[in-house]
Amino acid sequence: MQLARRILNLLKTDSGAWEPYYRARELKEAGEAVVNLTVGDHDIPTDPAILAEMSESASRGRTGYSVVSGTTALRKAVATRIEKRTGVPTGIENVVITCGGQGALLVSHLAILNPGDKALFFDPYYPTYPGTIMAAGGTPVPVATSPRRDFRPEGKALDQAAVGATSLLFNSPNNPTGTIYPQETIAMIAAAAQKHDLWVISDEVYDTQIWSGEHASIRALDGMQERTFVIGSMSKSFAMTGSRVGWLAGPAEIMNALGELLTVVTFGVPEYIQDAALYALNRDLEFEPKVAEPFRRRLSVALDVLRNQRVVSLVPPMGAMYLMLDVRATGLSGRDFALHLLEHERIAVMPGESFGRSAAGHVRVAMTVPAEDLGDALRRLASVAGELARNRSATAAPAAA
């Protein structure tokens, strides 16, 4: 007897690139002070008013089985939010509520992939993407991007990869790079999807964390509503990562079928959590700017620190809560640099290799500590990188002579 292939394949996806993250956890558990810049989880808690609504709802008895596709009130609020932000007519028939954005990722792929179907996604990528596709029975196919283009996709690479594919998943604003795909890139993706008859899954969970440029939803383009799913979540916009509530928007007939799928996957999100999400969405202008503003301030501090050195280069951070730093001048891989930094400075960052081959030689910094602490950590990171680069040059100089 043995595990199913889907589980065995998932076990193979851990390449060791997460080693700095696990090592940092071990150090913290041993009582050491570690500046943890690895995981994109807020350092501020869910607003007390949202938690109070959650508690009040539970006290009213909203603790039983929920409507599997989501309460009517919450689905209506999500639909209104999407329509207001994108201009695309959206009703409750276009929305189902899921267990976070990750739940939406899984059920969307389960809905459209048959065993072995090619499912595309851009590299670098959020680490659960390939595993989610494999769990849905598909074959994950990364499409490389380049730091020379700030990790924006290129039409030629997508066109070549799309032959025979079933779906394309992408994320803008992007985790891990902070890149926002401009309108021309979104249009290129739409054209490729229509040419190759692809389903498109657009992960837009960072749509309220925009630092420069504009976010464009591909579902708003002509011919895309009938082939596009949009993923949203309360996690990043409202600091509700642990509440596990998100949504999937798409064609009505597909959303209706997904109600049957959700019945055998999660059987719904607890109603008291949905009520708290509804409370927050109805007060979005109160909560969302408050959640986003610390990251805007921290980004300003980070830019000030990094412009004063010449070793570490920065992919322009247009959105989301991350910095993607190019450390190739040190001569180390992203993984080795992250381990070195953790060992010598007790600063934990994620190797670019954790997010795919395209980000090799980079590290991702989550801006999830106060601005002063982030600035200090980045100064120390740049100092370590500078020392490594100088040592590399000194070692190479005699050989060149």
User: Hey, what are 303's tokens?
Assistant: 């830019």
According to CATH, what is the number of the domain 5-45+286-385?
3.90.1150.10
Nearby residues of 365 by Cβ (< 8 Å), 6 or more positions away: 37, 302, 322, 323, 324, 325, 349, 350, 374, 377, 378, 381
User: Hey, what are 278's tokens?
Assistant: 């509804």
> For the chain, first and last CA: distance in Å?
62
pLDDT in tens, 292-301: 999 999 999 9
Handedness of CA 281, 284, 287, 292 (dihedral sign): positive
Name the pLDDT band for 252 (thresholds 50, 70, 90): very high
Q: What is the pLDDT of residue 401?
A: 47
HSE of 85, CA atoms in CB hemisphere, 13 A: 18
Name the pLDDT band for 212 (thresholds 50, 70, 90): very high
In terms of C-beta density within 10 A (0-12 exposed, 13-18 middle, 19 or more buried), how is residue 276 classed? buried
User: Hey, what are 216's tokens?
Assistant: 């464009």
Cβ proximity of 153 and 145 under 8 Å: yes
Name the pLDDT band for 4 (thresholds 50, 70, 90): confident
Report whether pLDDT(14) > 70.
no
Distance CA 280, CA 238 (A): 7
Q: Which whole number is the average pLDDT over 186-214? A: 97
pLDDT in tens, 55-76: 999 999 999 999 999 999 999 9
pLDDT in tens, 105-164: 999 999 999 999 999 999 999 999 999 999 999 999 999 999 999 999 999 999 999 999
User: Hey, what are 329's tokens?
Assistant: 């001048």
| Coil/strand/helix, residue 362 | strand
Calculate the average pLDDT of the chain: 95
Report whether pLDDT(198) > 60.
yes
Higher pLDDT, 153 or 396: 153
Nearest to 276 by CA among 97, 88, 40: 97
pLDDT in tens, 273-282: 999 999 999 9
Q: Which whole number is the average pLDDT over 251-264? A: 94
Kindly list the domain boundaries of the chain, sorted by start residue.
5-45+286-385, 63-283
Q: What is the pLDDT of residue 7?
A: 85
According to CATH, what is the number of the domain 63-283?
3.40.640.10
Q: Give the Å distances, CA to CA, from 118 to 159, 166, 169, 202.
A: 14, 6, 11, 17
Q: What is the pLDDT of residue 2?
A: 85
User: Strands (DSSP E) along 75-133, which ranges?
Assistant: 95-98, 118-123
Strands 165-171 and 118-123: parallel
Q: What is the pLDDT of residue 33?
A: 94
Least confident window among 2-16, 113-127, 333-347? 2-16
Q: What is the pLDDT of residue 16?
A: 63
